[in-house]
A and B are shown apart, each in its own frame.
Chain A
Amino acid sequence: MSVRLTDLQACFQGIVPTIVATCSRDGEPNVTFLSQVFLVDERHVALSNQFFNKTRRNLAENPFAAVEVYDARTLEGWRLSLRFLRSETSGPLFDAMALRIQVIASHTGMTGVFRLLAADVFEVLAVEPVAGFLLPPDPVVDAVPSLCEVPGPLTELRGLQTVSELIARAGDLDELLNGVLAALARVFRFEHSMILVPDETGRRLVTIASHGYGDAGIGAEVEIGEGLLGTVAQRRSLVRIAGVAGELRYGRAIRDRVSEVGERARLRAEIPLPGLADAEAQLALPLVAAGRLVGVLAVESRDPLSLDEWDEAFLQILAGQIAMAVDRMEAPDEETGEAATGRPATTAAAPPGRRHTFVYYRNDDCVFVDGEYLVRNVPGKILWKMLRRHHQEGRTEFTNRELRLDPSLGLPAYRDNLETRLILLRRRLEARCPDVRMVPVRRGRFALEVACPVELVEKDSA
């Protein structure tokens, strides 16, 4: 083989669809687009088999196949001659391909309908460029110099060092998470990123830190097992998708067909993509420390080619460090144990006449402020407790320790994730009601500052 398969990485990202041709026993050719070609090794590729279609039936009769793949960057074409070897229905290759398909399926509400039946492994008999496939570049129009700098290993090593130091120095979890995301943007140009952590039920992930989305995304929830992030959390393995928009369109085409053939009942409501509406590439990694899922790190981009194998490897190293730091910081911190003092409430200057109404719904521990959703579950209970204490007793300072020991909050005795709940609550207040603030006093202690009169209303249900 004159061309190395591994040099054709950009052809196997699934951005430009591949053509595959097969031939039946009686000599009838068949040609179609194929969503995925996986590079297995220097001599093998795998094609995704999602439906028992004509291509599959032909391969059972005649093992030869031809594919034409395209370099997503240059659009140069390559023709591969293949011979079918085997179908794998389990193992690492199958899992990697199935995970990718599961993600696409769950994005489009197609879980269980659009799934990998087999990873079909082929021996690559020949690889050749499609000579003359592209016209020569126009000396003027196509001569725009590439603007992307190629980052060298030294740059990346220094970047890794920067992020490591930041993780080591962070005084609290909030500083750690936001510092890491800001550094990813500054040093590595991952401009859109977020970190999600499991909620106390273990059924959902909740967004606790983000970069590049404003403050709107904090508190956004994803069911574990659904969508890219939920799938990554459930499977505890990394997923990278390039050409996200294309993949989703592909999912939707099948969805439409399934609906037409009367299987609508099997489809569920589509989950909106968290983050950029026009993301073209996404990478999500589980944050695992001591065998425990502590969160998910997600990075996305509008450039379909901006995330590659190198980013995967690099972010995996970082994810390990972040996970260990999160795990360490979530462990109950050493506090003085002294009771918070009943200092009178200080009402900082707020425009006269301004007031806020907080409503607490007992049935689902949900808090609304001025008619808008604020927060729920444990953070909701904590906020309500503090607002009542503030209202009834004039309390302004609270300690993590007293919250931990409060049986009405129902925090687990071990790994209570109180830090992450407090960060979420603080961020939601900043976004929705800046007149009520949680200000750290020192580690394990914070002040509740209420800048204008608040009315507290409790209801059984909405």
Chain B
Amino acid sequence: MISPELAQFLESGVSVLVGTRDARREPACMRGVGARVAANGAELTVFLPAATAATALANLADNGRIAVSFARARDHRSVQVKGRVLEVRDADGGDRERIERYRRDLVEALGVVGVSPRSTLRLAHWPARAVRLRVEALFAQTPGPGAGAPLAGSAEGAGP
């Protein structure tokens, strides 16, 4: 599923975008504050700030469908993970260390494209909820003609 190289990218200081939808299939989006790959790349945990996650958590409780895009500011390299939620819990102390490291990496990554450290550090991040999902498909998302193509190693292999 998620290769070690890809895991390194997903866990770095990239923007984390989370998409969910409600029972009527109305979508919602928000920013996450980092992610962690587990189970040899078959599972992903994404951290959502509690302050802004109410809609996303309600949607996940309803149907468990989730999309998470990871985008690097300096070159727009982007990957989207689609999956089903396995578990939602409060982020713990170990998670908090990850989130803090993510913030430091994000400050550096966004600094390259001109966002001030103060702005990045003011993004809400704690307390957070940890959303663990089963990875069902991976897609290349870098803008351009190849956007949306499934990545090699994707479980389904079919088009998005």
Contacts and interface: CB of A to CB of B under 8 A. Distances in A.
Interface of A: 16-17, 19-23, 25, 27-33, 35, 50-51, 53-54, 62, 64-68, 75, 77, 79, 81, 130-135, 137, 141-142, 245-246, 249-250, 252-258, 260-261, 263, 280, 304
Given A30-B67, A130-B52, A257 B27 contact: no
B148 A29 contact: no
Interface in B109-160: 113-115, 118-119, 121-124, 139, 141-148, 160
A245 B113 CA distance: 8
Given A253-B76, A254-B143, A66 B28 contact: yes
Nearest to B28: A66
B29 A21 contact: yes
Given A27-B25, A258-B145, A32 B114 contact: no
B12 interface: no
A27 B144 contact: no
Given A29-B67, A257-B142, 5 more contacts: A21-B19, A30-B27, A51-B143, A246-B113, A254-B144
A66 B27 contact: yes
Nearest to A243: B114
Interface string B10-51: 000001011111000111111100000000000000000101
Interface in B67-85: 67-69, 71, 74-78, 80, 82
B122 A137 contact: yes
Give the residue among A33, A67, A79, A304 with the most B Cβ atoms within 10 A.
A33
A132 to B, nearest CB: 3
B99 interface: no
Contact of A54 (B31, B63, B142, B148): B148
B65 interface: yes
6 contacts: A17-B15, A32-B141, A68-B29, A131-B52, A132-B51, A253-B142
Given A19-B29, A29-B27, A141-B118, A257 B145 contact: yes
A246 B17 CA distance: 19
B106 interface: no
B27 A21 contact: yes
Nearest to B119: A75
A67 B26 CA distance: 12
A53 B29 contact: no
B66 interface: yes
Nearest to B71: A33
Contact of B80 (A32, A65, A68): A32
B124 A66 contact: no
Contacts of B142: 253, 256-257
Contact of B29 (A20, A133, A254): A20
Contacts of B21: 21, 23, 27, 29
A31 B146 contact: no
B59 to A, nearest CB: 8
A337 to B, nearest CB: 59
B52 to A, nearest CB: 5
Contact of A68 (B20, B31, B49, B51): B31
Given A133-B52, A245-B113, A253 B75 contact: yes
Contact of B147 (A29, A53, A77, A246): A53
A245 B25 CA distance: 36
Most buried by B among A19, A29, A141: A29
Given A23-B27, A62-B25, A31 B145 contact: no
A16 B71 CA distance: 13
B122 A31 contact: no
Given A31-B17, A33-B78, A252-B75, A21 B51 contact: no
B50 to A, nearest CB: 8
Residue of B52, B63, B66, B75 contacting most chain A CB atoms (<10 Å): B52
A311 to B, nearest CB: 20
B148 A53 contact: yes
A29 B85 CA distance: 13
Nearest to B82: A28
A145 to B, nearest CB: 15
Contacts of A21: 19-21, 27-29, 67
Contact of A66 (B29, B65, B119): B29
B25 A31 contact: no
A260 B51 CA distance: 41
Nearest to B68: A31
A99 to B, nearest CB: 19
B124 to A, nearest CB: 5
A247 B60 CA distance: 34
Contacts of A257: 142-147
Given A51-B147, A257-B145, A280-B114, A31 B123 contact: no
A83 to B, nearest CB: 9
Nearest to A250: B76
Interface string B89-121: 000000000000000000000000111001101
A65 B27 contact: yes
B120 to A, nearest CB: 8
Contact of A64 (B18, B26, B75): B26
B122 A75 contact: yes
Nearest to A26: B25
